Each structure stands twice: as structure tokens, then as C-alpha cells.
Amino acid sequence: MSQENLLEIKELTKYFKVKKEKLTAVDNISLSIKKGQCLGIVGESGCGKSTLVKMIVGSLKPSGGTIRLEGIEYLNLKGKEKRDFWRNIQMVFQDPISSFPPRMKIGNYLAEPRLNYDKIKKKDAISQAKELLEMVGLKKDFINRYPHELSGGQLQRVAIARAISVSPKLLICDEATGALDVTIQNKIVELIDKLIHKEKISCIFIGHDLAVVGSISDNVAVMYLGRIVEYMNSQMLEKNPLHPYTKALREAAFDVYCNQEDELKVLEGDPPSPLNIGEGCAFAKRCSFAKEQCFKERPQLKEVEKGHFVACFI
């Protein structure tokens, strides 16, 4: 294990049994995240993003492969070690309101993780809650409010504050801005960006919008039907994406990368069923460059320049 890597995922796979058939949701994925870096994961609905995250946070058991944080295969931990471990990985979800207990004041909600993990005094936890609120750009007196008294964007700030309250090593944002309108979305992305750098937290930022994901991430993995089809840093994503699928996503993300006057190109067709991916490249049927080989053989992820990996024969 490299000294610098915080998270290492090796050959991770998840199958589901659907009516006696095997559905491949995550197919042999290997990834690593360095300390303090943000990895973006992008792909259309159904490509396996949530399944991948559920395995990282221990809510789904992998069918194969390993996940290590600082070298520890943490999914096998038991008892106190397991309890203590989980503060290291915190999540922010898409829908802020559903993750809040409606009758719990914001102050108590923010104080709860420190009370549980560190057994600090309630008075100290509430005072830290006020600091956390200020850190995420909210007023201290929000501690006395209930979730329904806050907007979606404000609630998402509180969710982020709670996630960082226990000084995690890895913050996972699963479509964390997806339910917010665009101006609020940008502010939340800026906030996450500022906090992960200030607190030196590594981050996995998941979304279906390449522009949003690219704007916060150091490296981006593009997923298609359970596999990574391209992995590169955000400069390569902006200047030289190579996989036809990444290019199509990039063109669709016109607001950041393209001239707003350009015609918006939409990716046509649906991905094939994960029950029946077939032999060839899973993207071949939607790819305007596909040649005979693409329908017969599965392209493997290969390094084409330093740090830039692509699974494509073209």
C-alpha cells in the first residue's frame, strides 16, 4: 500500500441476483484516493455509483474484492474497533430533509456525533455546534431551530457540518447537490471544496453532472454500466477527455466547459441492461466511432498518458 493513499479499492465487484439472473452492478473496480484529495465519480443513473458507495460505507457486502482505509480492511472489523472506526468515513446525502429527525433541534443534531464518539459534555458539544454552524456560513442561533425552519441549502450546510464534526478522514458526498437549485448547488460545492482543503479531508464526490464533479475533484472516474471507462485528473477532463462516453457527458455539461451558445448535445439511447452486458464494449451500441472489435471484445482500462486511463479501442 502506498504511503500516500488513504483509500484503496481493489477488484471490487457486486452482483445482485434478479429472478435467477446475475445483475452486475459494480464490475471489478480498482481505485485509490490520496490523502487530502477529492475523487469525483460520474456516470448516468444506474451505472453503479450508489452500489459502490454502499460497499465503501459497509451497508452492502461486496461480492468480491477488497477495500482498505490506511491499509486496514475495515469491513472485517468487529466490536469496539468497528465502532471507533466509522467516524473516519462520513457521508452527505442528496436529500437533506430525509436525513434529519424532524423533532430534533439543529444544535442537538450537530452535537450528537461528538457526544456518541467522544463522550464530551453536552455544553461543550453545543458550543462546538455553534462553531460548526459559523464554519458552514450559518448563524449560531440556528442551534435552536428545527429542520423544517431551514431551507434545503441551509439543511445541506448543517448536514456537511455534522459530517465534519468528528474530523473524518474521508467525506463521501453522494449527489449532495443534486436536489438543490443551481445557484445554491454552486455555493454548496464551494463550501465542500473549502472545508476539505481546510480540514485536509479526502473526499469522494459523486454526481451525474460532469461539470459539477469536475469543478471540485482532483481526479475523476467515469463509470459506465458498473465499470470505470476513463480515469484522469480534472485538467485532462477539461482539455483532453478520450472516451467517447466522457466526451458525450462533457458536451452535455455545456454550462462550464462549452460556450453557452453551442447547441446542447444529448447522449442518445439507453445503456444496455446490466443483466445482459454481452461480450463487447458496453458503450458500443451508443458509440458513433464503434468498429467491429468493439462489439466482440471488452476493452480493458489502460494508461495512455501518465495518470490517464481509458477503456476504449479507439
Ligand X SMILES: Nc1ncnc2c1ncn2[C@@H]1O[C@H](COP(=O)(O)OP(=O)(O)OP(=O)(O)O)[C@@H](O)[C@H]1O
Residue type, 215: S
Answer yes or no: are the C-beta atoms of 24 and 277 closer than 8 Å: yes
Q: Within 10 A of 245 (CB to CB), how many other CB atoms are there?
A: 26
Contact call for residue 62 and ligand X (CB under 6 A): no
Contact call for residue 51 and ligand X (CB under 6 A): yes
Report, in Å, the least distance between residue 176 CB and ligand X: 13
Alpha carbons 275 and 287: distance in angstroms, whole number: 20
Query: Out of 33, 38, 39, 47, which residue is the one contacting ligand X (CB under 6 A)?
Result: 47
Residues 274-303 that bind ligand X (CB under 6 A): 274
Question: Which residue, 53 or 69, is less far from ligand X as judged by CB?
Answer: 53
Count of residues in contact with ligand X, rule CB under 6 A: 14
Answer yes or no: are the C-beta atoms of 229 and 312 closer than 8 Å: yes
> Which residues, 6+ apart, have CB-to-CB distance to 9 below 8 Å?
29, 30, 31, 32, 56, 65, 66, 67, 68
Report, in Å, the least distance between residue 63 CB and ligand X: 12
Report, in Å, the least distance between residue 91 CB and ligand X: 14
What's the gap between Cα 311 and its chain centre? 21
Report, in Å, the least distance between residue 208 CB and ligand X: 6
Q: Within 10 A of 130 (CB to CB), how many other CB atoms are there?
A: 18
Residue span 256-275 as binding mask against ligand X, x where in contact by CB under 6 A, dash where not: ------------------x-
Residues 206-225 that bind ligand X (CB under 6 A): 208
Contact call for residue 50 and ligand X (CB under 6 A): yes
Answer yes or no: are the C-beta atoms of 303 and 231 closer than 8 Å: no
Contact call for residue 25 and ligand X (CB under 6 A): yes
271-290 per-residue burial string, b: 16 or more CB within 10 A, e: under 16: bbebeebeebbbbbebbeeb
User: Pairing mode, if any, of strands 202-207 and 170-174?
Assistant: parallel
What's the gap between Cα 138 and its chain centre? 25
DSSP designation for 74: G
Of the candidate spans 40-48, 73-81, 121-129, 213-221, the one that interacts with ligand X by CB under 6 A turns out to be 40-48
Alpha carbons 201 and 197: distance in angstroms, whole number: 7
Residue with cell 460532469: 210
Question: Which residue, 208 or 243, is less far from ligand X as judged by CB?
Answer: 208
- What single string gives the DSSP state of each residue in 121-152? -HHHHHHHHHHHHHHTT--GGGGG--GGGS-H
Question: Which residue, 150 or 229, is less far from ligand X as judged by CB?
Answer: 229
Question: Which residue, 27 or 107, is less far from ligand X as judged by CB?
Answer: 27
Query: Out of 15, 23, 34, 112, which residue is the one contacting ligand X (CB under 6 A)?
Result: 23
Question: Which residue, 14 or 250, is less far from ligand X as judged by CB?
Answer: 14
Question: Which residue, 36 or 58, is less far from ligand X as judged by CB?
Answer: 58
Contact call for residue 152 and ligand X (CB under 6 A): no
Of the candidate spans 44-52, 62-70, 244-252, 282-290, the one that interacts with ligand X by CB under 6 A turns out to be 44-52
Alpha carbons 216 and 232: distance in angstroms, whole number: 14
Residues 173-212 that bind ligand X (CB under 6 A): 208
Residues that bind ligand X (CB under 6 A): 16, 18, 23, 25, 43, 45-51, 208, 274
